Amino acid sequence: MIRYILVDDEPTTLAFVKTKIDGIAKDFNLKHVKSYSSSLKAFEEVIEEDYDLLIVDFEMSPYNGIELAKKIAENKKVVFLTSTSNNGPKMMNALDVSGYLSKPFDLEEFKDIIKHKVIGKINPTKVSQKPHTITLSIGTNKDVRFPSNQAYYMRTSRNINGEQPNKNCVHIYGKNDVVLYANLRISINELYEKLADYNFEKVDQSNIINMDYLKERDNMHIELQDCSETFEVTAKHKPGFIANLRAKLMR
């Protein structure tokens, strides 16, 4: 997952860029962390361990884009937004910049930068190291806690052993396809959002897998270590899955 921050002193630009990126977020495994309309506020509040990519306006005050990137984006990927094309050489020479985009924001150019300059190139030393224990709040009356390495996959459909969750519920499975938690009342999409900071990936509308246990991928077919259950990545989820896999293999 590529976590990004937007900084631009024009609120309308912030909203426009985020809306554009939202349209491709699933395909490229992008997660919006926060937007800032003040470079000073971004400098004061941003925690570097909480994001991977800075998308920042070049012309701002009190800190312009280069100054802000030097302060908060050491070892991060940076994409500059600029309304003046001759700023390009300055930006590219100042930092290890992934790219720059002329305003108005061009989505196709951004996709090209993400594919060739960002995916698989995130600095692993700066990735946030979240606690290994996952806590899930299920509704208002139930909490579940477990080490992330115990969960191999989650699903809403019947598994190889014939176990099937109740309607609108999820089973969490561990090693050897053993059910760790049965009938957690949560949607697969909501569960995936809660697991965003951990190394899990959704492969279709019914299944989430732990990428740490990926044994083999043969095109759309997935096998996990120490599990008999197999999975098929749908065409819809394949781009995000491949992006996550490439990033992991580069670390």
Model confidence at 92: pLDDT above 60: no
Strands 179-184 and 200-202, bridge-based pairing: unpaired
Instruction: Calculate the average pLDDT of the chain.
Output: 86
| pLDDT tens track for 11-52 | 999 999 999 999 999 888 899 999 999 999 999 999 888 899
pTM of the shown model: 0.54
* Contact between residue 211 and residue 199 where contact means Cβ atoms under 8 Å apart: yes
* Contact between residue 68 and residue 76 where contact means Cβ atoms under 8 Å apart: no
Which has more confidence, 238 or 175?
Answer: 175
DSSP string, 130-147: --SEEEEEETTTEEEEEE
**Domain range summary for the chain, segments of one domain joined by +:** 2-126, 133-249
Residue found by looking up tokens 């477990």 in the block: 146
Mean pLDDT of 107-111: 91
Percent of the chain beyond pLDDT 90?
Answer: 50
Tell me which fold the domain 2-126 belongs to.
Rossmann fold (3.40.50)
Instruction: Provide the pLDDT confidence category of residue 128 given band limits of 50, 70 and 90.
Output: very low
90: its two tokens:
């300055």
CA 233 → CA 108, 163, 200, 208, distances in Å? 25, 21, 14, 10
Q: In what order do the strands lie in the sheet with 230-232?
A: 214-218, 221-224, 230-232
| pLDDT tens track for 164-189 | 999 999 999 999 999 999 999 999 99
Tell me which fold the domain 133-249 belongs to.
OB fold (Dihydrolipoamide Acetyltransferase, E2P) (2.40.50)
Start-to-end CA distance of the chain, whole Å, equals 13
